[in-house]
Structure 1
Amino acid sequence: MKRNEIIIICLLFLLAFGLRFYEISYPDFKWGDEMAHVPAGTNYWLNGQFEPDNWEHPPLRHILMYGFLQLFGDNPYGWRMRNILFGAAACVLTYLFARNVSGGRKAALLAGVLLATDPLHIVMSRYTFEEIYGGAFFLAAIVLYQRHAGRSWLIAASAFFMGCALATKWYYVPCWLLIYLLLLRDNRNYRSVGTAFFITATYLFIPASVFIGSYYFWFMRGYTFSEFLQFIQDAYFSLQTYRPESYNPEMVFLSHTSALEWFIRSVTVGQGTFIGADRGEFILYMNSLPVWIATLPAMVFLAVLAQRRKSLELGLPVLLFLGTYSLFVGVKRPTFIYSAVPLLPFAFTAIGCLVTEVTGRVNARLYHLVLVTMLAWNLYLYPLATAKNVPVAPYQYLLDDSDAKLFRQ
Structure 2
Amino acid sequence: MRLRLSALATRPWLVALLIGLAAQALFAFHLDRPGGIMFDEVHYVPAAKALIELSGPRNIEHPLLGKELIALGMDLLGDNPFGWRLVPSLAGTATVLGVFTFLMVLMRGRMRVAVTGAALAMLNQSLFVQARTAMLDIFLGAFLLWGLVFLLWAMRGTRGQVLWRWCVGAALLGLATAVKWAAAPYIALVALAFVAIRLRDARRAHRPLAAALLSGDQPHWPGLPSLAGLALLGAISISVYFATFTPTFFYLTGATDGLSGLLHLQREMYAAQVQVLPHHNYQSDWWSWPLILRPIWFFYAWDHGAQRGVLLIGNPVIMWGGLVAVLVAYAVSFRGRALRPLALALLWTFSVAIYAIIPKSLGFYYYYHLSAIFLCLVLPVTFDHFDRTRDRGWEEWYVALALVCFGYFYPILSAAPLDGPMAFAHWTWFPGWR
Q: Please report the TM-score for the alignment, with normalisation by the length of structure 2.
A: 0.81
May I ask how many residue pairs the two structures share in their alignment?
393
Letter in 1 for 2:140: G
Structure 1, unaligned runs of 5 or more: none
Match of 1:78 among 75, 78, 83: 83
Q: Percent identity?
A: 19
Is residue 74–residue 83 contact of structure 2 (8 Å, CA) maintained in 1? yes
Is residue 140–residue 180 contact of structure 2 (8 Å, CA) maintained in 1? yes
Superposition deviation, residue 161 in structure 1: 0.6
Is residue 121–residue 341 contact of structure 1 (8 Å, CA) maintained in 2? yes
Superposition deviation, residue 91 in structure 1: 0.5
Partners of 1:400 and 1:322 in 2: how far apart?
A: 27
Bigger mean CA deviation after superposition, 19-28 or 178-187? 178-187
Superposition deviation, residue 273 in structure 1: 4.3
Letter in 1 for 2:348: F
Match of 2:173 among 146, 154, 162: 162
Is residue 99–residue 145 contact of structure 2 (8 Å, CA) maintained in 1? yes
Match of 1:190 among 186, 210, 213: 213
Bigger mean CA deviation after superposition, 60-69 or 303-312? 303-312
- 1:120-139 CA distance string (max 9 Å, x none): 11111111111101110001
Q: How well do the aligned residues superpose, as a CA RMSD in angstroms?
A: 2.9
Alignment of 1:133-282 (within 5 A): 133-148=139-154, 149=157, 150=159, 151-184=162-195, 185-186=197-198, 189-192=212-215, 195-220=225-250, 221-245=255-279, 254-270=281-297, 271-273=299-301, 280-282=307-309
- 1:329-386 CA distance string (max 9 Å, x none): 3345222111111112211111122233345587613332222111221222122111
Partner residue of 2:205? none
Is residue 9–residue 92 contact of structure 1 (8 Å, CA) maintained in 2? yes
Partner residue of 1:398? 427
Partner residue of 1:41? 48
Partners of 1:118 and 1:109 in 2: how far apart?
A: 14
Change (3 A) 1:389 1:96: same
Is residue 266–residue 289 contact of structure 1 (8 Å, CA) maintained in 2? no
Structure 2, unaligned runs of 5 or more: 1-7, 203-211, 217-223
SS in 2 for 1:272: strand
Change (3 A) 1:324 1:50: farther
Letter in 2 for 1:157: V
Partner residue of 2:16? 9
Partner residue of 2:68? 63
Change (3 A) 1:76 1:222: closer
Bigger mean CA deviation after superposition, 76-85 or 2-11? 2-11
Partner residue of 1:18? 25
Letter in 2 for 1:138: L
SS in 2 for 1:399: coil
Change (3 A) 1:326 1:142: same
Partner residue of 1:121? 127
Partners of 2:336 and 2:53 in 1: how far apart?
A: 54
Partner residue of 2:315? 288
Change (3 A) 1:265 1:345: closer
Q: Please report the TM-score for the alignment, with normalisation by the length of structure 1.
A: 0.86
Bigger mean CA deviation after superposition, 386-395 or 66-75? 386-395
- 1:214-266 CA distance string (max 9 Å, x none): 22222452424344334323422331223443xxx5xxxx3341121122244
Change (3 A) 1:32 1:73: same
Letter in 1 for 2:213: Y
Letter in 2 for 1:140: W
Change (3 A) 1:394 1:4: farther
Superposition deviation, residue 400 in structure 1: 6.0
